[in-house]
Amino acid sequence: MINIVLFGKPGAGKGTQAEFLKQKYNLVHISTGDVFRFNLKNDTLLGKQAKEYMDRGDLVPDELTIKMLQDEIEKNTEATGFLFDGFPRTIAQAEALDEFLASKNWDVTATIALEADDEILIKRLLERGKTSGRVDDQDESKIRNRYEEYNHKTAPLIDYYTSKNLFYSVNGIGTIEEITRRLSLIIDDFIDK
């Protein structure tokens, strides 16, 4: 069982890399952003509850997010590993993930961050917003709010995982293939063990 947390600011390329990594390592990819957007589109109760936060670029409250994540894991208990993309984003979420994985005798194998400069990322998101249809990518003030949320609530996870010796980071600037290679070098090390 290998469980990888892909970490990084909005626009860092987590989703793009996840598409390659999930195939290469046969992992179940759970993107909390994608699951929320699916619920929004289908107007489910969870979608209704998450909408106002997502529209503002705020994090959805932990309670809702953690419950949703646990449900996604439960749907895939036969998996040989998970790739978490966009989760955890708060210390409470990280603690809940540890606890939940431990209840199944699993754990987080590694957290890998994709690093890139804020101004480059903001430009990328505005570009993505032109075609993705994502309202949160079309307005610079919403994007900046997501960075505020990241700095306040998500950045503390770097220390959380560093203190457990689980934190790795790679340069997120380069071609998609180059970055996949950088991530693979780290993951391969865990597979050989």
| Catalytic residue check, 56 | no
Binding mask 168-187 for ligand ADP (x = CB under 6 A): --------------------
- Pairwise CA distance, residues 168 & 43, whole Å: 37
- 39 near ligand ADP, judged by CB under 6 A: no
**Shortest CB 109 distance to ligand ADP, Å:** 19
Is residue 18 within 8 A of residue 29, CB to CB? The reply is yes
The two beta strands, 28-31 and 2-8, are unpaired
- 7 near ligand ADP, judged by CB under 6 A: no
Residue 125 burial (CB count, 10 A): 22
- Pairwise CA distance, residues 158 & 160, whole Å: 5
Number of H helices, E strands in the chain: 9, 5
Residue from 18, 22, 33, 97 touching ligand ADP (CB under 6 A): that is 33
**Dihedral sign, CA of 113, 114, 116, 118?**
negative
- 57 near ligand ADP, judged by CB under 6 A: yes
- 93 near ligand ADP, judged by CB under 6 A: yes
Binding mask 102-141 for ligand ADP (x = CB under 6 A): ----------------------------------x-----
Choose the catalytic residue: 89, 142, 153, 182. 89
Pick 84 or 167: Cβ nearer ligand ADP: 84
Q: Is the bond leading into 10 cis (omega within 30 degrees of zero)? A: no
| Catalytic residue check, 89 | yes
| Catalytic residue check, 182 | no
**Shortest CB 152 distance to ligand ADP, Å:** 13
Is residue 136 within 8 A of residue 55, CB to CB? The reply is yes
Pick 32 or 180: Cβ nearer ligand ADP: 32
- Pairwise CA distance, residues 170 & 128, whole Å: 22
- 84 near ligand ADP, judged by CB under 6 A: no
Is residue 169 within 8 A of residue 182, CB to CB? The reply is no
Choose the catalytic residue: 37, 56, 124, 128. 128
- 36 near ligand ADP, judged by CB under 6 A: yes
> What residues are labeled active site?
14, 89, 128, 134, 146
